Chains A and B, each alone.
Chain A
Amino acid sequence: KAGVTQTPRYLIKTRGQQVTLSCSPISGHRSVSWYQQTPGQGLQFLFEYFSETQRNKGNFPGRFSGRQFSNSRSEMNVSTLELGDSALYLCASSLLEGGSGYTFGSGTRLTVV
Chain B
Amino acid sequence: SQQGEEDPQALSIQEGENATMNCSYKTSINNLQWYRQNSGRGLVHLILIRSNEREKHSGRLRVTLDTSKKSSSLLITASRAADTASYFCATVSSNDYKLSFGAGTTVTVRA
Residues of chain A having any CB pair with chain B under 8 Å: 4, 33, 35, 37, 42-45, 48, 55-56, 58-59, 88, 90, 92, 97-107, 109
Contacts and interface: CB of A to CB of B under 8 A. Distances in A.
**What's the dominant secondary structure at chain B's contact region?**
strand
Contacts, number: 62
Contacts of B45: 101-104
Interface residues of B, number: 25
A96 B100 CA distance: 17
Interface of B: 1-2, 30-31, 33, 35, 40-45, 48, 88, 90, 92, 96-104
Nearest to B46: A101
A104 B1 contact: no
Contacts of A102: 33, 43, 45, 99
26 contacts: A37-B40, A42-B2, A42-B101, A42-B102, A42-B103, A43-B90, A45-B101, A55-B97, A56-B96, A59-B1, A88-B40, A90-B43, A92-B43, A92-B99, A98-B92, A98-B99, A99-B92, A102-B33, A104-B35, A104-B42, A104-B43, A104-B44, A104-B45, A105-B42, A106-B41, A107-B42
